[in-house]
């Protein structure tokens, strides 16, 4: 399966030299695995020296050297992956930071790459066991009715949207996209990142966007984020019970949410209001369908009969 870098080359987004330079930067940011397990006090100083000596003498990788010395533990992988994910920037972030790719150019490629991964790797399937999350707009499920929601634009108190537009910039959209892809990766290996930390980060970003949207009268944005927060809250409460397909489904739903939010933001830029977006039948249906996907996933999870215990919700008091 292609990596993101190959995808960008195929689309002539960057040159091979720029891609190589950024990958070198990633390598420079990647901490040494042996340093990590020693810093975490998972091996003794004596074991550290033994590993270095064996690697130097026989040119072995870390795992092979540790196995030879009978000190390898599988949790080394978990700790190493977690620290690498914390300290190393993603390829997309580096490309934007180095001004090699504009955010508005990178974002649609990321979305296509996400779809490519979902199609070519079962670990990233976008369907939970019982809920069909229809991501193909051209093959919409006609039997699934749109949810009812009717905004009242007559009573919306609009104001200068510049604060919201500044907060929900194209760079911020890229950042949210990458967080969503990070959530999706929990579906293949929960040890690549801390699920609780990732969900909290995403929830905080959504909450900030919702508050600013409310302040500028962006009621469609506020409502969509509110529904998305409810879904995230469920995951936060029952993090120890959800499975890999659930994380993939959560990512799929939020990619659709982000796409709608992006369109709403662009309407705010163009006209200072979301009303024109709602007057277009195709846009309105897309919004309502996204709301429906959120509610269907939420209902599926709730119908599993998870019992709410005090420890599940104590952080809400």
Q: Between vectors from CA 307 to CA 302 and to CA 313, what angle results, nearest 5°?
A: 90
The tally of domains found in the chain comes to 2
Say if 184 falls within a structural domain: yes
Percentage of residues in the chain having pLDDT higher than 90 = 15
The mean pLDDT value for 237-242 works out to 80
What is the Cα–Cα distance from 292 to 119, expressed in whole angstroms? 23
Burial of 274 (0-12, 13-18, 19+ CB in 10 A): buried
Given a cut of 70, is residue 103 above it in pLDDT? yes
Say if 40 falls within a structural domain: yes
**Does residue 208 sit in the same domain as residue 120?**
yes
What is the Cα–Cα distance from 151 to 291, expressed in whole angstroms? 13
Given a cut of 80, is residue 121 above it in pLDDT? no
Say if 63 falls within a structural domain: yes
**Does residue 69 sit in the same domain as residue 185?**
no
**Does residue 168 sit in the same domain as residue 47?**
no
Percentage of residues in the chain having pLDDT higher than 70 = 80
**Does residue 158 sit in the same domain as residue 270?**
yes
Say if 238 falls within a structural domain: yes
**Does residue 50 sit in the same domain as residue 134?**
no
**Does residue 80 sit in the same domain as residue 136?**
no
What element of type H or E holds 191? Answer: none
Helix (H, G, I), strand (E, B) or coil at 187: coil
Confidence of residue 260 (pLDDT cuts 50, 70, 90): very high
Confidence of residue 115 (pLDDT cuts 50, 70, 90): low
Residue 25: domain span: 4-91
Helix (H, G, I), strand (E, B) or coil at 298: helix
Alpha carbon 185 to its chain centroid, in Å, reads 8
For 276, other C-beta atoms within 10 Å of its C-beta total 13
Query: Which ranges constitute the DSSP H helices of 30-74?
Result: 33-39, 45-58, 62-68
| End position of a domain, from candidates 91, 113, 135 | 91
Distances (CA, A) of 58 to 32, 62, 71, 238: 18, 11, 17, 47
Confidence of residue 122 (pLDDT cuts 50, 70, 90): very low
Say if 96 falls within a structural domain: no
pLDDT of 306 reads 64
Place of tokens 């033994």: 50
pLDDT of 155 reads 62
Beta-carbon contacts of 105 under 8 Å, excluding residues fewer than 6 positions away, are 13
Alpha carbon 116 to its chain centroid, in Å, reads 16
Structure tokens at 313: 């919700």
Q: pLDDT tens across 126-177, in order?
A: 333 332 233 333 333 444 456 777 777 666 666 678 877 888 887 888 888 8
Helix (H, G, I), strand (E, B) or coil at 72: coil
Distances (CA, A) of 16 to 1, 88, 92, 102, 156: 19, 21, 15, 17, 50
Question: Taking the CA of residue 258 as centre, how many other CA atoms within 13 Å lie in the half-sphere pointing to its CB?
Answer: 27
Q: Which of 287, 144, 306, 290 is closest to 236 using CA atoms?
A: 306
Place of tokens 């007057």: 279
Given a cut of 60, is residue 78 above it in pLDDT? yes
Confidence of residue 1 (pLDDT cuts 50, 70, 90): low
**Does residue 169 sit in the same domain as residue 55?**
no
**Does residue 214 sit in the same domain as residue 296?**
yes
**Does residue 78 sit in the same domain as residue 198?**
no
**Does residue 188 sit in the same domain as residue 149?**
yes
**Does residue 202 sit in the same domain as residue 288?**
yes
**Does residue 55 sit in the same domain as residue 141?**
no
| End position of a domain, from candidates 63, 91, 119 | 91
- Which one is predicted more confidently, 218 or 139? 218
pLDDT of 267 reads 87
Q: pLDDT tens across 250-259, in order?
A: 988 999 999 9
């Amino acid at each position: 399966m292609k990596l993101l870098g190959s995808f960008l080359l195929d689309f002539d987004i960057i040159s091979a030299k720029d891609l190589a330079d950024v990958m070198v930067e990633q390598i420079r940011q990647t901490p040494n695995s042996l340093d990590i397990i020693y810093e975490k006090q998972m091996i003794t100083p004596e074991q550290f020296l033994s590993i270095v000596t064996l690697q130097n003498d026989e040119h072995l990788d870390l795992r092979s050297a540790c196995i030879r010395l009978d000190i390898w533990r599988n949790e080394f992988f978990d700790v190493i992956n977690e620290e690498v994910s914390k300290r190393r920037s993603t390829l997309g972030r580096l490309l934007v930071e180095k001004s090699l790719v504009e955010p508005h150019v990178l974002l649609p490629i990321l979305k296509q790459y996400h779809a490519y991964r979902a199609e070519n790797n079962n670990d990233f399937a976008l369907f939970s066991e019982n809920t069909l999350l229809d991501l193909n707009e051209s093959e919409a499920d006609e039997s699934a009715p749109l949810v009812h929601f009717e905004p009242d634009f007559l009573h919306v108190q609009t104001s200068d949207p510049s604060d919201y537009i500044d907060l929900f910039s194209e760079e911020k959209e890229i950042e949210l996209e990458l967080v969503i892809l990070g959530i999706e990766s929990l579906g293949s290996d929960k040890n690549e990142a801390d699920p609780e930390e990732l969900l909290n980060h995403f929830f905080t970003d959504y909450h900030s966007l919702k508050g600013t949207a409310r302040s500028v009268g962006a009621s469609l944005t506020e409502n969509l984020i509110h529904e998305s927060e409810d879904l995230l809250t469920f995951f936060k409460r029952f993090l120890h019970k959800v499975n890999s397909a659930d994380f993939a489904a959560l990512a799929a739903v939020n990619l659709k949410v982000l796409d709608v939010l992006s369109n709403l933001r662009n309407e705010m830029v163009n006209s200072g209001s979301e009303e024109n977006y709602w007057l277009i039948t195709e846009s309105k249906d897309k919004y309502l369908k996204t709301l429906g996907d959120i509610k269907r996933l939420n209902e599926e999870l709730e119908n599993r009969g998870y019992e709410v215990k005090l420890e599940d919700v104590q952080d809400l008091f």
